[in-house]
Structure 1
Amino acid sequence: MSYRRYSGLSNSIDVQNAATVHSASPAPGFPSQLPQTPSAEAAISPVTQATSVTPGQAPYEWWDLVAHDAAKSASSYQALKDSNSRWSFEPIDLSRSTAASPSQFLHSRQSSQEHTQPIHQTTRPASIRNGIGTNHDNVAKEPWNTSAPVSLSEQEMGYLRYYVKHVGPIFDLFDPERTFTEYIPHLAMRNVGLLKSVLAVSARFKSLHTPVRDRQTASTTGHHRQRSSFTDDDDAVSTQLYFETLSYLSKAMQYQSYTRSKEILATAALISSYEYFHVDRSADWEKHLKGVFWIQRSQETNGERGGLQGAVWWNWLRQDIWAALWQNRRPLTIWEPTIPVVTLRGHEFASRATFLLARAIRYATHDEGNTNDLSSRIADGERHLSDLQEWYSNLPPTYRPLPVVESDASAIFPPVWIHPPFHAAAMQHYYSAKILILLNRPSVGGLNAYHDSQRMLNEAVSMVCGLAQSPTALEFPSAMVHFQALYVAGRCVRVPEQQKALYEIFERVLESNRFPTKSLLSDLQRTWSTF
């Protein structure tokens, strides 16, 4: 198979900075390069990783984990190389090795690229082409940033526009400052690694949402030849950009100032998001979530930090929630909010609902405090339900349903419309949390208590399914939340007619999202077969 290759920003480190990078020391106690033997690779398996990571070690632990897993799959992407393209990634790029100096690496890369022609020729200062800046002026003081804004090819600008319009808003679901959409693109214009991670996520998401017929039309119609370079192989382009992001990181990670920067925080979040959308590599993605967790802890990031740190934390938590649901494990977060519910503002209620869902998942894993004491389980369940009720009782009016056109009287789950859409997404988190707690709370109150729980479960399931059928349910960015809520709700539906109705809603939502895999439908059917 031949690919019409992406060609753009080069990753190599500046020769003038080679000595600086070469002499930079890894974190104390960490190897200077990735292990090269199978036995050594096994030694750094995530299964054997220590659970306690110091702040200084955290970025290196995360990087070595990501690089190790990427190196295992790098050989499968060698087909992306061909004689008519520039594939600016080599396996050596995944090592912080001091065996070969950056200047030697750069020279070998430049020599090999003299024989290839990129699609888009762009003239850039050497410091921009190299990805690491050399001019420590007032605009770009850090050596791992460029001294001037990066100039983009037409193809790169297309992916950047797509990111701003479609992808960034997903990450900014509950963020009124729109950090991923409005701030990170500007930050990326002076950091090649961050920029490539932005473009990689954009290309990956676009590959999921470009209809096959559109790609075929673009690639076979001469009039659309230019467009085909943008749409024909977005997945392959995203893979290239992902590996080139890692190549950049292998150099920048040798600056200790970079390991404490906002750029690494944003880049780690976007790498995780790329893997989140890359469903066939979900196992690696889930392991790397823990690495992002380490980086955030090293920078004392939590849900009550403002700006970039807070935005990254909430985006990470939403991903970790899905991983925890899918893998039936505890969420990684250990943070607890300190701001009282009664003082929350509109968008803060949405974020608090996300936290309440994470806590409900922790409760549902039966691992909260490692206790099997029945009275403690009951008390914890009641406390969580009380916290949910406190949240619900203090909601502003914008979280309440609006009128909708009456559906068929025979509809099992009538549509429910809450506007704005991100408030509907918050309500999905609320009802999902309620379902998980009710399903896992021991009941010792007799038949009446059982019927009360069933009534609350039925109401929650009806709301989840109704919200997933609202007029805006299939629109991004809130659409990404509905499939998770349906996945939770489906696990307590026992009536065949309700199962059929929920299945059809779930199928429509998954088709709209193009993510995650439709195997979730099979998971749900297997659950129902056990009832």
Structure 2
Amino acid sequence: MPGVPSNKACERCKKRHIKCDETRPHCQRCTTAGVECPGYVQTRKFIDQGATVRRRYAPYQEAHPKSSSGGQSYKAPAEHNLDSTQQSHSQTSNEQIPLNHPQEHDGPSLHHQMGETSLDSSDGPMNIEMTGPSSRSGNLPGTTQQEAINVSGNPTVPVPANSFGTEQNTGSAKTIHSPISPTSGTRGLSSFEMAYLGLSNDMPDAQRGIPSQTSSHRSEKEDFQDIFSELMTGTEHEIAFLTRHYSEVLGPWLDLTDAQKWFTVYVPIRAINNLSVKYAISALSAKHLGRVKGIKSPTGGMYTSPATTEVYPNGTQVDWYLKAANYYYLAASDLNNITSDGYTAVSSSAVLESPFEIVGRWLNSRQTQTNLKPASDDPNDVQFVRKTEELLATAMLLTMYRLLDANGDDWHTQLSGIRPMFQSLLNVHSKASASFSHGIRAAFWNFARQDYLGSYFTRSPTHFNPEDHSLWCTAGISINEKNELNVVPSGSTSFTQEDQATNGLIWLVSKVINFLAKSKESQIAQWTGSPPANSPEAQGTSSSSQSSYPDTSTWLKLSFEFQTWFDGVPETFRPSVRIEHPKDLSRPEGSQLPFPEIFHGLTTCAAAMQHYHFGRIALLLNRPPDIMSAPSTAFDRLQGYREVTKEVEFRSREVCGLALGRPHGGVRIFMIPILYAVGQCLESPEEHQIIIDLLRGVEADLGWATEYAVQKLQASWNQ
């Protein structure tokens, strides 16, 4: 019930018990007397139902008073226009006046109080000014009046969906005076919201993470930080914080073979005007912060003050996983929006679709095949290519989101849609005799690297067929008429020499992985007595290569190509630092480590050399038997085994030495399958422990899941 002023006299006249003329801003009696008028206090009271209202909202009040939390107000998008009565800074003597929203019109009511804590005054209600950037709406299903689910694991305060970027006029701020209490975070939530947050209506407050009246209360500063973090969902500061975290930490992971830094530099710029890219960046960054428990390594000086965009309040206590899930939903929804025909309503099940399915459906449409002209300089055609790049960037980021905590056996399945997606792009570019643009190229080489690493775990053929030379050449490498790689072709301007050589190595390792897949298939065929199955449509490989058994000539050709690649790389692939017998400084006796320590000045070269040794080890351990030229005596065979063992040991030491050199995070996250392969070749317990420490160090430092590889290695060692 709205209140009315109980007394209109100024404070001086009220104390003297004389009639006040109520002149504004200062009464005439005070002015005539030559004293300063103390002003008018608008104390309000309920006309009726006062006791009823107090009883209704009594459970929401704190058991103890709190002092002021400061005079800072927080800005986020607002949705409801409040009348002048609600917008005035009113205060009561002994009771709080809650902010009411009728449930039948505005969804769940927000009956939240915070005792006497205030952001604007010492005893007034909490004042929150909500403004935000204009962008497209992205509501979670089950919300009303565009309410979005708060993404903090702490007591929840529902935030309007405009905080995620709903289009609105941001020129004028809208003010909401809403007392908020951390003890009432889940009251008034819908059943969908309770289920989404993993809460139950039957759960006691203690199990919901809500402090009970008898439990010890946290400090006022911690309570304020929790609420402040919850209200930051989708706000300008949070998006800026997550985008900067992506640019500094995650973007370089995807630019291993791109000196122009597409994912680090260009993608965040494209995110300014593309919601799906913006939310995909936020989703990946938030999930990564959840994996590292909110701890952000300092990238600047250690003793200087950090920038505002480097700091997030109470970052180690935020439920980053829930924030990441919200942003992932928004990115997938917007991706589906911008790829739909404009007449089909986007289903909430779009979040369950693979991003490759969404982008591939758009690329296969007749309109896209007609309008996508990669060789044209027309502004409209260039804009269409830019849209394609942004869609692929979103798909890449959402894929990294899924792979961040996935088991290695699941990588191959997660990438099942990349071949038809790029086949549609290849059809358009082949007609125009054009190469992939910068953004398409950058996405392709990331997918190709993840493709063969994921295929190695399951010994499956890669999704990208290495025999499809047109695809790889359109992506930027040079393959001559003899099907041989030109390591550093003359006149190539698409890549630096290092990028060109590393991308060529990706193609070679993909050929090795397919060789291993065929070897596995031939072994199964020998055991079962049936010929290997032909499935070129399923795996994108030619029938001739799929049906033929791997033979010695193929093995020798691959070995020769690897040696040719190594002989043709620039001098930058040599390590700048190498310690052959480093000391283990963690031990008091300073014993020597069994591996060298190797450091490369260029991150690209460090990654390439690890993958080169990985490819050579895979070939050494999978040489097919050759009856015609096989050694005739047992001693010759034993000598051959010893030579293989010696070379495998050497290359395993090189791989571990590169890992011990602690290269950039982009190298470390992609060396998990390599360390897993090397770990199966090593024998001593000390070497085993170093492999385990290296794998677990990747998860501890970078948040990339490695425990599944550790468990598989330990199981194989214990056999």
Distance 1:251 1:122, change over 3 A: closer
Residue 322 of structure 1 deviates from its aligned partner by 2.8
Distance change in 2, residues 1:119/1:305 (3 Å):
closer
Matches of 2:438 and 2:452, distance apart in 1 = 22
- Structure 2 SS opposite 1:89: coil
User: What is the CA–CA distance in structure 2 between the aligned matches of 1:175 and 1:316, rounded to whole Å?
Assistant: 14
The alignment status of 1:237 with 2:323, answered yes or no, reads yes
> Paired residue for 1:407?
582
The answer for the alignment partner of 1:279 in structure 2 is 406
Do 1:89 and 1:247's aligned partners in 2 also have CA atoms closer than 8 Å? no
Instruction: Specify the alignment match of 1:169 in structure 2.
Output: 252
Counterparts of residues 255-274 of structure 1 (less than 5 Å): 255=341, 259=363, 260=368, 261-274=388-401
Is the 1:356–1:430 contact (alpha carbons within 8 Å) kept by the matching residues of 2? no
| Alignment of 1:392 onto 2:540 | no
Counterpart in 1 of 2:501? 349
Q: Distance between the aligned counterparts of 1:230 and 1:510, measured in 2?
A: 17
Structure 2 distance, partners of 1:431, 1:118, is: 53
Alpha-carbon spacing, 1:517–1:469, altered in 2? closer, same or farther (3 Å): closer
* Structure-2 residue corresponding to 1:205: 288
Q: Give the partner amino acid of 2:399.
A: S
Q: CA deviation at 1:502?
A: 3.1
Tell whether 2:605 aligns with 1:431. Answer: no
Q: 1:466 aligns with which of 657, 676, 682?
A: 657
Cα 1:111–1:362 shift into 2, 3 Å: closer
Contact 2:462/2:510 (CA < 8 Å) preserved in 1? yes
1:307 is aligned to 2:431: no
TM-aligned CA deviation for residue 404 of structure 1: 3.6
The SS at the match of 2:422 is helix
2:231 matched to which residue of 1? Answer: none
The code of the aligned residue for 2:140 comes to F
Q: Contact 1:404 / 1:415 at 8 angstroms: preserved in 2? A: yes
- Which of 597, 602, 613 is the equivalent residue of 1:420? 602
Tell me which of 253, 263, 269 is aligned to 2:339.
Answer: 253
Query: Counterparts of 2:397 and 2:76 in 1: how far apart (Å)?
Result: 19
Matched letter for residue 623 of structure 2: R
Equivalent-residue separation in structure 2 for 1:213 and 1:396 (angstroms): 36
Q: Which residue number corresponds to residue 42 of structure 1?
A: none
Equivalence for 2:140: 89
3-state SS of 1:478 partner: helix
Q: Which runs of 5+ in 1 are unaligned?
A: 1-6, 11-80, 92-107, 129-150, 215-223
Q: How high is the sequence identity, in percent, across the aligned residues?
A: 20
Deviation, structure 1 residue 481:
2.6
What does 1:321-336 align with in structure 2 at a 5 Å threshold?
A: 321-334=452-465, 335-336=468-469
Q: Is residue 294 of structure 1 aligned with residue 446 of structure 2?
A: no
Alignment RMSD? 3.9
Q: CA deviation at 1:400?
A: 1.0
The answer to whether the 8 A contact 1:172-1:178 is kept is yes
Structure 2 distance, partners of 1:354, 1:492, is 23
Secondary structure of residue in 2 paired with 1:252: helix
Matched-pair contact (CA < 8 Å) for 1:120–1:154: no
Unmatched runs of 5 consecutive residues or more in structure 2? 1-74, 79-107, 113-136, 150-156, 171-233, 298-309, 343-360, 369-387, 479-484, 490-496, 522-540, 584-590, 632-636
Q: 1:518 aligns with which of 707, 714, 717?
A: 707
Contact kept? 1:265, 1:295, Cα under 8 Å: no
Quick one: distance in 2 between partners of 1:230 and 1:255?
42
SS at match of 1:88: coil
Q: Deviations over 1:310-368 (max 9, x none)?
A: 10001112222232123332221114445142434222112222222222222112258
Correspondence for 1:455:
646
Give the letter for the 1:299 counterpart.
L
CA distance in structure 2 between the partners assigned to 1:349 and 1:225 by the alignment: 39
Q: Take 1:173 and 1:184, find their aligned partners in 2: how far apart are those partners?
A: 15
1:499 match = 688
Q: Which residue of 1 aligns with 2:373?
A: none
1:269 and 1:292 in contact (8 A); partners too: no
1:189 counterpart residue number: 272
Distance 1:294 1:521, change over 3 A: same
Q: Which has the higher helix share?
A: 1
Aligned CA distance change for structure 1 residues 242 and 113 (closer, same or farther; 3 Å): closer
CA positional deviation for 1:411: 2.4
Aligned amino acid, residue 414 of structure 1:
P
SS of the aligned residue for 1:412 comes to coil
* Residues 120 and 153, structure 1, Cα contact 8 Å, conserved in 2: no
Structure 2 match to 1:476: 665
Deviations 1:275-313 (A, max 9, x none): 111427984x64341223322221128997340111000
Contact 2:404–2:703 (8 Å) recurs in 1: no
Distance 1:122 1:399, change over 3 A: closer
Query: What is the SS of the residue equivalent to 1:407?
Result: coil
Tell me: CA distance 1:82–1:489, structure 2 relative to 1, closer, same or farther (3 Å).
farther
The 8 Å contact of residues 158 and 230 in structure 1, kept in 2 or not, is answered as no
Helix, strand or coil at the partner of 1:515: coil
Aligned-pair CA distance for 1:112: 5.6
Higher relative contact order, chain-length normalized (CA < 8 Å, sep 6+)? 1
Q: Which moved more, 1:305-314 or 1:322-331?
A: 322-331
Please give the secondary structure, in 2, of the residue aligned with 1:520. Answer: helix
Cα distance in 1 for partners of 2:165, 2:435 equals 43
> What does the per-residue CA deviation read over 1:10-51, in whole Å, with 9 as the maximum and x for residues that have no partner?
9xxxxxxxxxxxxxxxxxxxxxxxxxxxxxxxxxxxxxxxxx
Aligned to 2:159: 117
In structure 2, C-alpha distance between the alignment counterparts of 1:402 and 1:483, rounded to whole Å? 24
Question: TM-score, normalised to structure 2's length?
Answer: 0.50
Query: 8 Å contact 1:204–1:278 — kept in the other structure?
Result: no
1:527 corresponds to: 716
How far apart are the structure 1 equivalents of 2:675 and 2:601? 19
The one-letter code sitting in structure 1 at the alignment partner of 2:657 is G
Q: CA deviation at 1:207?
A: 1.8
Q: CA deviation at 1:230?
A: 8.5
Q: Distance in 1 between matches of 2:146 and 2:277?
A: 26
Deviation at 1:435, TM superposition (A): 0.9
Decide whether the 8 Å contact of 1:201 with 1:271 is kept in 2: yes
With over 3 angstroms needed to count, the CA separation of the structure-2 counterparts of 1:111 and 1:524, relative to structure 1, is closer
Q: Deviations over 1:199-233 (max 9, x none)?
A: 1111112222245799xxxxxxxxx9961369612
Q: SS of the counterpart of 1:416?
A: strand
Count of residue pairs brought into register by the alignment: 402
Match among 557, 582, 599 for residue 383 of structure 1: 557
